[in-house]
Amino acid sequence: MGFRLSVTSALKGVSAAIAIISTTVLTTVLSAWLWISPAAALASAEISDVSYRDCPAEIGEGSVTSGGGIVRGADCFLVYGTVTNKTGKPIVNADVFGRIYDSTGNPVLQNRTRLGSIDEIPPGASEFSIRITVPDTQTGGDLQLKQFKASGFTGKVRR
Q: Which pTM does this prediction carry?
A: 0.66
First to last CA, the chain: 65
Per-position pLDDT tens, the chain of length 159: 554 545 455 445 545 545 555 555 445 444 444 444 444 479 999 999 999 998 888 775 655 555 555 556 778 899 999 999 999 999 999 999 999 998 888 898 888 899 999 999 999 999 999 999 887 776 667 899 999 999 999 876 665
Dist CA 2 CA 32 (whole Å): 45
Three-state DSSP class for residue 152: strand
Q: What pLDDT is recorded for position 35?
A: 44
Q: What pLDDT is recorded for position 39?
A: 47
Strands, E assignment, the chain: 42-54, 64-67, 70-85, 91-101, 114-121, 124-135, 144-153
Q: What pLDDT is recorded for position 147?
A: 95
Closest CA to 94 of 52, 143, 41: 41
Dist CA 80 CA 130 (whole Å): 6
Dist CA 85 CA 125 (whole Å): 6
Dist CA 27 CA 24 (whole Å): 5
CA 105 to chain centre: 24
Q: What pLDDT is recorded for position 25?
A: 45
